Structure 1
Amino acid sequence: MKNILHRNPIPDIEYLKKEVVKLYYELVDEISFVENWISEYIVKK
């Protein structure tokens, strides 16, 4: 990340969008995992 900013003072908007989207999908995966775990836990009780 630092290398890109060093070479290119203006942040690459497209690159940043891709990074944000990647993080968003990782977060969604985590949330859905937790939701599945909770629903299974409730069903087992």
Structure 2
Amino acid sequence: MAIAGAGEGERKWHELNILRSFHLILWEKKLKEVKVNGFYQNWKRN
């Protein structure tokens, strides 16, 4: 019984890690877009 519970917990943890890395990838993409947009706007202004 304990082993089954551990497996369940591990799967949840694994899913959490996948979700977190997915969010990180999206966040980094967003940050890059913001940086590029900001750089472009600064460049246009000068």
- TM-score tier by shorter-chain length is 0.7 to 0.9
1:23 aligns with 2:10: no
Q: Which of structures 1 and 2 has the bigger CA Rg? A: 2
TM-score, with structure 2 as normaliser = 0.73
Aligned pairs (5 A) from 1:1-45: 12-45=8-41
What 5-or-longer segments of structure 2 have no aligned partner? Answer: 42-46
TM-score, with structure 1 as normaliser = 0.74
Displacement over 4 Å in runs of 4+: none
More helix by share: 2
In 2: Cα distance, 1:41 partner to 1:14 partner: 40
Aligned residues: 37
In 1: Cα distance, 2:31 partner to 2:39 partner: 12
